[in-house]
Amino acid sequence: MRVGRGDYDLSRRDPSRDPAGTGALPWRVLAGTQVGGLAMASWRLKHPSTRVGQWSLNGHALDVSGHGKHGTWAGTEAYGSGPKGMRQAAVFGGPPTLIDCGDHADRDGGSALTVTFWTRGTPLVGRAWISKGGAADRSWLFNSLVGGLIRFYVASVPGAWHSQCDSTTAINDGGWHHVAGVYDGAFEWIGIDGKIDSVLVAGPAALNASDDPLEIGAWDGGNQIAVDIADVRIYSCALTIDEIIAIIHEAVPVLA
């Protein structure tokens, strides 16, 4: 599994994280996942050409990646203060608010995917941050759990989830948090604020290529979330934690 600094050693489980030896909880992270431990030279994204969509939500729902896959608001379009010096973020107020970004083949299917976004708020349980595909033709989904945790689902067939990775770090403290979900065809992992949070052996399986739209703030036209969201990005590869950190520290233009 390619995750960069802090690679998981699959031959050595940490007993303190998995006392029963079941393998159900994350494996030990080797040294190096702290943001402060990285040299500035390492903060660069090695795979910029694999970015297939970016919605800064900086006062609009335009795709600023250059691919022209712009979003359309349903419900009340609203913006508030953004994270890390970004001018604005989208404010989702629950039903019927969502952003529909349409269906594009490079956002699902294939054997690898990375989705990143900023979020702030305290959502109800069972609400969706971002999704691709509905219940009958699903591909992937970020869903809210009890206690401010996140579940990252991926599907390999239209009507059922193939695997689900749950975070262990709560993000419902009222501050901004950066979330990353990565799938490489065999492993699925969640990153929170530049650190690997949880890992799941999920494959081998390719993602289902759904014909349903990408939705920000909802899943399948429902399950709308009430939080702030900024700088949503999708990559058609499995980024490393170093590359996720590069995204966190990358400046988002004021007009983007």
The tens digit of pLDDT for each residue in 144-192 reads: 999 999 999 999 999 999 999 999 999 999 999 999 999 998 999 999 9
Which residue bears the tokens 């335009």? 62
Looking at residue 204, its pLDDT comes to: 85
Least confident of 45-49, 79-83, 105-109, 189-193: 45-49
Cα dihedral: 59, 65, 66, 67 (round 10): -100
Average pLDDT, whole number, for the chain?
82
**What are the domain boundaries of the chain?**
47-249
How much is the average pLDDT of 227-240? 95
Instruction: Name which of 238, 240, 243, 230 is nearest 129 in CA terms.
Output: 230
Per the CB < 8 A criterion, the answer to whether 132 and 108 are in contact is: yes
State the DSSP code for 157: B
Q: What is the pLDDT of residue 48?
A: 58
| Mean pLDDT to the nearest integer, 128-141 | 94
Distance CA 105, CA 52 (A): 10
Question: Is the pLDDT confidence value at 224 over 90?
Answer: yes
User: For residues 169 and 74, what is the distance between their CA atoms, to the nearest angstrom?
Assistant: 31
Other CB atoms closer than 10 Å to residue 110's CB: what's the count? 15
Average pLDDT for 129-133: 95
Q: Which CATH class is domain 47-249?
A: mainly beta
Per-residue pLDDT band for 11 (boundaries 50, 70, 90) equals very low
The CA distance from 193 to 209, in Å, is 29
**Rg of the chain over all Cα atoms, to the nearest angstrom:** 17
Say if residues 69 and 63 touch (Cβ distance below 8 Å).
yes
